[in-house]
Amino acid sequence: MPITTLYALPLALILLTLTFRTISYRRANKISLGDNGDKALLKRIRVHSNCAEYAPIGIIVLGLAESVATPSYLVHATGLALVAGRAVHAYGMSQTPQIMPIRVAGMILTLTAIAGGAFIGTAFALHHLA
């Protein structure tokens, strides 16, 4: 699944960046478990967790759509929306104060990619079953 791989790699880099941001903050502030009431750490945890919650299902949907011979331009469009959505959302949510229009745009792109990928993947799977 070369197209899925193309988009999984930047998503992994986004997730790793968010992971290292959280780890470095924990180390600098000597907080090993939970958030210790630290709002800045809580924000980093949630930005990281949000990516960890949405990126995997997006990659799975992308891979499944690609595996049933969905046209490559649709798989690319889905992958681009997913990567852009995760990057934009993380940026908007990470700012203090959060930039809600950017955060919302990121979620719209992410959810559109997941729903759109699921829809087109299902449509092409059904086409191949017929």
Which tokens is 57 given? Answer: 């299902």
Burial class (CB in 10 A: 0-12, 13-18, 19+), 114: buried
Which whole-number Å values give the CA distances from 66 to 4, 34, 90, in the listed order?
A: 7, 38, 26
Tokens in use for 79? Answer: 């992958």
Retrieve residue 27's tokens: 């180390």
Per-residue pLDDT of the chain (130 residues; tens, 9 = 90+): 999 999 999 999 999 999 999 999 999 999 999 999 999 999 999 999 999 999 999 999 999 999 999 999 999 999 999 999 999 999 999 999 999 999 999 999 999 999 999 999 999 999 989 7
This prediction has a pTM of 0.95
CATH code for residues 2-129: 1.20.120.550
Q: At what angle do helices 39-67 and 72-94 cross, to 10 degrees?
A: 180
SS3 86: helix
Taking the domains of the chain in order of start, what are their residue ranges?
2-129
Q: What is the pLDDT of residue 128?
A: 87
pLDDT score at 4: 98
Q: What is the pLDDT of residue 52?
A: 98
pLDDT at residue number 37: 96
In 10 A of CB 126, how many CB atoms? 10
